[in-house]
Amino acid sequence: MRGVFIMPVTSVAGEIRVPGDKSISHRAALLGGMAHGETYISNFLLGQDCLSTLRCLKQLGVSWERQGSEVRICGQGMEAWREPSDVLDAGNSGTTLRLMLGVLAGSPFSVTLTGDASLRSRPMRRVTDPLKQMGAQIMGRQGGNLVPLTMNGGQLQGHTIRTLVPSAQVKSAIILAGLRAKGETRVEEPARSRDHTERMLRGFGVDVHSEGTEIWVQGGGHLTGQDVSVPGDISSAAFFLVLGSLAGSGEMILPDVGVNPTRTGILDALRAMGADIEVTDVSEVCGEPRATLRVRPARLKGTEIGGDLIPRLIDEIPILALAASLAEGETVIRGAAELRVKETDRIRTVANGLNTLGAKVEELPDGLRIQGHSSLRGGLVSSHGDHRLAMAWAIAGLVSKEGVSVENMDAADVSYPDFLHVIKQVIQ
């Protein structure tokens, strides 16, 4: 068989410290680079995506040093950023690319940004159009929709922008550009997306206002370097929440996981399916809530997932679909067309992958219809270079009858470099 073979297991147990939150790590590095003074980040995610953000910052003249997952950034303010002598490569990371576009829109120089094959096919107009309205000049394929993109930044004018999709990357890019614009910049979202940028900007001393789905800032905000402790990533914890629910026996404990309410849709969805998940030791560190999650096996049943819940669990849908394929009854996920423009078209790749493994999944234009079964056969599937698929297929192997071979398992390095090693520690 090709790929990495994952054998079925019946029992899982242990305590797992999932790596630092990807969204928060990106923002800590970026805001640290924009701030005046030193920023010290602990539990920074060493996934390829966040390393791309650090590399781009270095090319822009921001100096930082890293020891393991501790990063120290010597911020000298955005005025100190310099025109890079080469193209900035965001790799597989949409967050690096879109947030960088926002920050660079107000920088008085020219910069070209690109990414890997997946990122080069993902839509950027949702960011470039608002930034152009604010005064940035951006050129690229499809009228500035696809990277490589060249941006000539400069003086921006604040604007009110109604976004068409709830996207924290788009919202953050506009807010970060707004900090360097004249006057007020306001974003109105169709539904609330993750709010890490707003929370962290407040920690760095910037006045960010928000009410419901509206966020606004005044231009000229000054950032002061901070200590940022990054909580564990709930999107990484999700793989163990599903594994712990589907396993035959055992208990898993996940300490220090971020439980920002804009990210905890996976807890709501799994509990609605009957999962046995306990949340304890809730505290707030650096403006972000964190908690210990404890999961035990449970009989899951099908559910309906849609509406405002979707942005709160958008990255967890691949692993949630696996849970649904082993639940009793039907699960329908709607209103998730955004999945089509993630690292892969996750509606297609999840449906095809699960069907290859013996599940019964129907692709919908904006979601999935999944008929639950008491078991999953197994087989050979590919990650297609998508980190969340690689990890979902590995979990599928553990809970399958015959095991799963995962092609391109290395893709997991984007958000969870040690994933297979950790899996080995929890299987009994």
Q: Which residues ranging from 14 to 73 are in contact with ligand S3P (CB under 6 A)?
A: 23, 26
The residue count for binding ligand S3P (CB under 6 A) is: 13
Q: Residues 6 or more apart from 51 whose CB is under 8 A from it?
A: none
Active site (annotated) includes residue 256:
no
Which stretches does DSSP call E strand in 43-96?
A: 63-67, 70-76, 88-89
Distance CA 224, CA 203 (A): 9
Candidates 39, 48, 53, 95; binder of ligand S3P (CB under 6 A) is 95
Length of the chain: 428
| DSSP per-residue string spanning 112-155 | EEE--TTGGGS--HHHHHHHHHTT-EEEEHHHHTEEEEEEE---
User: Nearest approach, Cβ of 349 to ligand S3P (angstroms)?
Assistant: 15
User: Nearest approach, Cβ of 312 to ligand S3P (angstroms)?
Assistant: 11
Q: Residues 6 or more apart from 290 whose CB is under 8 A from it?
A: 231, 232, 256, 257, 258, 259, 282, 283, 284
If the CB atoms of residues 9 and 99 are measured against ligand S3P, the closer one turns out to be 99
If the CB atoms of residues 22 and 159 are measured against ligand S3P, the closer one turns out to be 22
314 contributes a contact to ligand S3P by CB under 6 A: yes
- Name the segment binding ligand S3P (CB under 6 A); options: 153-161, 168-176, 262-270, 293-301: 168-176
| DSSP per-residue string spanning 378-399 | -EEEE-TT-HHHHHHHHHHHHH
- Name the segment binding ligand S3P (CB under 6 A); options: 128-136, 137-145, 165-173, 181-189: 165-173
315 contributes a contact to ligand S3P by CB under 6 A: yes
User: 33 by DSSP, 3-state: which?
Assistant: helix
Q: Residues 6 or more apart from 57 whose CB is under 8 A from it?
A: 29, 30, 33, 64, 73
User: Nearest approach, Cβ of 100 to ligand S3P (angstroms)?
Assistant: 12
- Name the segment binding ligand S3P (CB under 6 A); options: 135-143, 164-172, 270-278, 357-365: 164-172
- Name the segment binding ligand S3P (CB under 6 A); options: 169-177, 325-333, 348-356, 392-400: 169-177
Among 49, 129, 195, 315, the active-site one is 315
* Residue 377 amino acid letter: R
168 contributes a contact to ligand S3P by CB under 6 A: yes
If the CB atoms of residues 256 and 316 are measured against ligand S3P, the closer one turns out to be 316
User: Nearest approach, Cβ of 405 to ligand S3P (angstroms)?
Assistant: 26
Distance CA 134, CA 129 (A): 9
- Name the segment binding ligand S3P (CB under 6 A); options: 163-171, 184-192, 328-336, 402-410: 163-171
Which x/- pattern over 177-196 shows residues binding ligand S3P (rule: CB under 6 A)?
----------------xx--
Which H helix or E strand runs over 229?
strand 227-229
User: Nearest approach, Cβ of 45 to ligand S3P (angstroms)?
Assistant: 11
User: Nearest approach, Cβ of 194 to ligand S3P (angstroms)?
Assistant: 6
Which residue shows structure tokens 């920690």?
203
Candidates 107, 114, 167, 405; binder of ligand S3P (CB under 6 A) is 167
Distance CA 305, CA 331 (A): 8
- Name the segment binding ligand S3P (CB under 6 A); options: 7-15, 28-36, 167-175, 287-295: 167-175
User: Nearest approach, Cβ of 168 to ligand S3P (angstroms)?
Assistant: 3
Distance CA 113, CA 111 (A): 7
Candidates 118, 163, 169, 408; binder of ligand S3P (CB under 6 A) is 169
Exposure string for 359-387, b = 16+ CB within 10 A, e = fewer: bebeebeebbbbebeeebebbbbbbbbbb
Instruction: Give me the half-sphere count of Cα atoms (radius 13 Å) on the Cβ side of residue 328.
Output: 6
Contact criterion met (CB below 8 Å) for 175 and 105: no
Contact criterion met (CB below 8 Å) for 4 and 411: no
128 contributes a contact to ligand S3P by CB under 6 A: no
Q: Which residues ranging from 131 to 150 are in contact with ligand S3P (CB under 6 A)?
A: none
User: Nearest approach, Cβ of 369 to ligand S3P (angstroms)?
Assistant: 22
198 contributes a contact to ligand S3P by CB under 6 A: no
Give the residue numbers marked as catalytic: 315
Summarize as ranges the residues that interact with ligand S3P (CB under 6 A).
23, 26, 95, 167-170, 172, 193-194, 314-315, 338
